[in-house]
Structure 1
Amino acid sequence: MYPIASLPRQLSNPQVVLFGDSLFQGCADVSNGFSFQAALQAQVMRRLDVVNRGFSGYNTSNALSILPKVFAPPGSGVPELEYLFILFGANDAAVPLPTNFQHVPLGKYKANLTRIVNHPTITAHKPKTFIITPPPLDEIRVTVLDRGNGHPAAARRTKISTAYSQAAREVAAENPGVTLIDLHKALMDTAIAKTPGFDPKGRPALGDTEGGVRGYLEHLLPDGLHLSPESYRILYDLVRPHVGTEWAGTRDEERVGYALPDWRDAPWLEEDSHLRGKSL
């Protein structure tokens, strides 16, 4: 039983923050039948709040410039940052073009990611921090769409994007306490497994214009860059085991860890004892 005096004056759940580019901004969309953000929120309902801080088009330099506006230091009235998921790189990897200025050099991308995970405002909360690798790129599809949108060439290249995913892996490995979520590998493994007859050994990657084979990337990256609902579900399956481990597997997992008590344990039942055991 929760005594009334122990209840918070105002509910302020700890937060799971999704900090990234359009890949996180779009994860709230429910129009195609699956929403990563909604699935994650359902998993932590009444314990944590999932907060979307995805900014379409942003690179890691942009992220650093806005970080003080996105995150507040711990203090009175500031929700605790419990989990932080970082997904940047798809825009950093854009090639320099007269029509596109999102590019961040590979070394600076690594330095920026490192600065984000070690930013004093972030570390003051002591969150569980995760770096998600940018996904693969379907350069074949991207080339068609980019040329149609007025770019002189593809704004992104498969091999370059792959290098940025590897850089994200390295940053996660180089910073103690940071966990890697390898979305690039998970999506590419899925695409290879679902592309009949495709053997990746000694061949250009799926989506690379040199190989000319999109394969199952067509379904995972409909515009060559952004995630389909199937891809978001794959991402959720990667993230799910890391969130809520403190109550997972408990005897009464469905209600353990609630910020406010389950109705069966609510303090007002002491005042209305005649209702105990009855559904309201």
Structure 2
Amino acid sequence: MASEVTSLRGKSGGSWPKVYLLGNSITQFSFSAEGGWGSLIADHLQRKCDVVCRGFSGYNSRWWKIILPKVLTASDVKDAALITLFLGANDSVLADLGKAQHVPLEEFQQNMSDIVIYLQSIGVAREKIIIISPPACAEEKWRKECEEKGRIFSKCNKQTGEYAQACANVAKLHGTGYVHLYTEMMKVPDWDCMLNDGLHLSADGASFVFKLLKPLIDNLTCALPMRFPDWKDIDNKNPHAVLDQL
């Protein structure tokens, strides 16, 4: 029995690289049936990386700047393969109607910059950070959703575009990866089908986000090996020959 326990305690193969998804509800829902872009990343990186979702519904960049040191520390990111930063949908609500979440444009850009600076300060290389702009907002669809749920409609697609540009500015300033989701969505004639309620991603929207992210993800993870041998490379009569070498 002792020898069997020792065998089971064999080498673990080391820590698994991590992909961290940081953001608001669009990130919180990234493993849902509809807006599952996080699930698509996890599927794409099977046996290469653990994908960790840190999305907080309703949060803006002001709040994220405060909680970030509690969410990620230097020890957390030592094995980070990449980090996505997906904010702006809440910050960009109209100031007079969305007081509970609105963050002025200039402050939003500074907050995003400060978040990137913090990530770098705990050891995340700038090229491992991918900023994703807020998606476009289908105003009439979101207005209907707000009316049905008794919420105040406070979104403006044009203003969202300004916050998307602020994300681009931060990415350029710090040399991070960037996905201009807003602009890419607006190029598609029926782009509103990418939003299930006018604000949050549909399954089509999740696939679109993943498609834009994939080249950046592949560039950062292509050298990572698949963890543990393929089953066809293991001799069932003598599995120790391969598995004890890990």
TM-score range, shorter chain: 0.7 to 0.9
- The one-letter amino acid of 1:159's match is K
Provide closer, same or farther for how the CA distance between residues 165 and 8 of structure 1 changes in structure 2, counting only shifts above 3 A.
Answer: farther
| 2:179 alignment partner AA | I
Matched with 2:41 is 40
CA contact (8 A) 1:23 1:226 kept: yes
| Equivalent position of 1:257 in the other structure | 225
Please give the TM-score of this superposition, normalised by the length of structure 1.
0.73
Q: Identical aligned pairs, as a percentage?
A: 28
Q: Structure 1 regions of 5+ residues with no counterpart?
A: 193-215, 251-255
- Retained in 2: the 8 A contact 1:74–1:125? no
Q: 1:8 to 1:67 in 2, by over 3 A?
A: farther
For residues 1-280 of structure 1, the aligned pairs below 5 Å read: 8-9=11-12, 11-30=14-33, 32=34, 35-74=36-75, 80-97=79-96, 100-119=99-118, 123-126=122-125, 128-151=128-151, 154-176=153-175, 178-190=176-188, 192=189, 216-245=190-219, 248=222, 257-264=225-232, 269=235, 272=238
Shift of 1:10: 6.8
Change (3 A) 1:91 1:122: farther
Please tell me whether the aligned partners of residues 132 and 180 of structure 1 are also in contact (alpha carbons under 8 angstroms).
yes
Structure 2 CA distance, aligned partners of 1:99 and 1:186?
26
Offset, 1:37 = 1.7
Q: Determine if contact 2:97/2:154 at 8 Å carries over to the other structure.
A: no
- Corresponding residue pairs, total: 233
Deviation at 1:243, TM superposition (A): 1.7
**Aligned residues: CA RMSD:** 3.0
Q: Deviations over 1:74-130 (max 9, x none)?
A: 37xx75111011100000001134664100000000000001111056641336111
Structure with more helix by fraction: 2
Separation of aligned partners in 2, 1:140 and 1:273: 60
Q: Output the TM-score relative to the length of structure 2.
A: 0.82
Please tell me whether Structure 1 or Structure 2 has the larger radius of gyration of its CA atoms. Answer: 1
Q: Note if contact 1:93-1:156 (Cα within 8 Å) is conserved in structure 2.
A: yes
> Unmatched 5+ residue regions in structure 2?
1-6
